[in-house]
Every structure is written in structure tokens, then in C-alpha cells.
Amino acid sequence: MKHHSILRVVSKLLIPPIILYALYVQWHGDYGPGGGFQAGVVFAVAFILYALVYGVDEMMRILPPRLLHALAGIGVLIYAGTGVVTMLLGENFLGYNVLAHDPKHGQEWGIIVVELGVGITVASVMMSIFIAFACHNPPIKDEEW
């Protein structure tokens, strides 16, 4: 890919806006269209684009699969943890009302945190899947078939 200078320059230019857009979708998910699922995918796309242009190894230097797996788990934990916190505060599971002094604020906080968890998980799972396909390092080698 070294000689595809146009692709490299353009992608370098594109990646920051993509991430920014992903973050926008993420943080406006509570009252506008969007949310963790979409944001996660868009966010992952930025890194996948990077990997396509610069190679998977480069991407894995930033985000090793181990970290991605952990992030996927952490995302779920953030989601479920919110539910547990509301439970501990005396509401039902995922009953956000108690998260702030005002139920409306509570709902907002709750959604944002939950969506964050979703977003992290989706992004890291997307990237994991991409790496799994892109790396020629499957758990079962071709010769073994």
C-alpha cells in the first residue's frame, strides 16, 4: 500500500471526521436518532479503514485483539453495571429514575451510560470480527482440514 499515496492521504484526512461523527451519534443517542449500535459501527469503520490502508498489523499495534476482547466485555459490564447500580439504589433493573435527583435527569444519565457501554461493545466486536477475518491466523490451520 506504500505507493497508494492518494488513498493514504485521503484516509488520514477522513479518519478524524469519522470518529467525530461516531462520537456525535453516540452522545446524541439519548434524544435524537442514533445511539450505541450505530455509533459503535461507525467508530469501528474508522479503524477498519485505517487497517485496510495501512495493514492489519498496524491497527493491531494500537488495538491488540486482547484489548478489543476486554473492551467488548467492559462494554457489556457498563451496560449491566448500570442496571445493577439502579438495583442497588432501590429501583428495578435498569430503572434509571434514581440515577439523579430528578427522574428525567436520571433517565438521561442512564441512557447515556448504557449507550456508551453498547457503543464500546459494538465497536470492539466489529473490529474483532474484522481482525478475525483479516488475519491469516485462524485457530484451525487450513492444512488441518
Partner 1 sequence: MLDIIVTNLPALQVVVPLVAAPVCAMLGRGDRSWAFATLVSFLTFAISVSLFVAAYGGEPISYEMGGWAPPIGIEYRIDVLNAFVLMIVSGIAALVMPYARRSVASEIPAERQAFFYTAFLLCLTGLLGVTITGDAFNVFVFLEISSLSTYALVASGAWRNKRALTAAYNYLIMGTVGATFFVIGIGMLYMITGTLNMADLAVRIAEHGDSRTLRMGFVFIFIGIGLKLAMFPLHLWLPNAYSFAPSAVTSFIAATATKVAVYVLLRFMFTVFGFDYAFQASTLENVLLPVAIVAMFAASLVAIFQDDLKRMLAYSSIAQIGYMLLGLAFLTHTGLVATIVHLFNHAVTKGALFMVAGCFVLSAGTSSISSLRGVGRDMPWTTAAFVAGGLSLIGLPLTVGFISKWYLVQASLELGWWPVALLIMGSSLLAVIYVWRVVEAAYLQPAPEGVIRREAPLSMLVPAWILVGLSIWFGIDASLTTTAASRAADTLIGSSQILWQE
**Binding to partner 1 by residue 133, rule CB under 8 A?**
no
Q: Considering the complex, what minimum distance in angstroms separates the CB of residue 33 from partner 1?
A: 21
Q: How far apart are CA 50 and CA 138, in angstroms?
A: 22
Residue 105 binds partner 1, judged by CB under 8 A: no
Per CB under 8 A, 76 contacts partner 1? yes
Segment contacting partner 1 (CB under 8 A): 4-12, 49-57, 91-99, 126-134?
91-99
Q: Which is nearer to partner 1, 46 or 131 (CB)?
A: 131
- Binding residue for partner 1, selected from 91, 113, 116, 125, defined by CB under 8 A: 91
Q: Is 92 exposed, middle or buried (0-12, 13-18, 19+ CB in 10 A)?
A: exposed
Q: Contact between 94 and partner 1 (CB under 8 A)?
A: yes
3-state secondary structure the chain: CCCCHHHHHHHHHHHHHHHHHHHHHHHCCCCCCCCHHHHHHHHHHHHHHHHHHHCHHHHHHHCCHHHHHHHHHHHHHHHHHHHHHHHHCCCCCCCHHHHCCCHHHHHHHHHHHHHHHHHHHHHHHHHHHHHHHHCCCCCCCHHHC
Residue 115 binds partner 1, judged by CB under 8 A: no
Nearest approach in angstroms of CB 78 to partner 1 is: 10
Binders of partner 1 in range 52-71 (CB under 8 A): 69-70
Contacting residues toward partner 1, per CB under 8 A: 69-70, 72-77, 80-81, 83-84, 86-88, 90-97, 139-140, 144-145
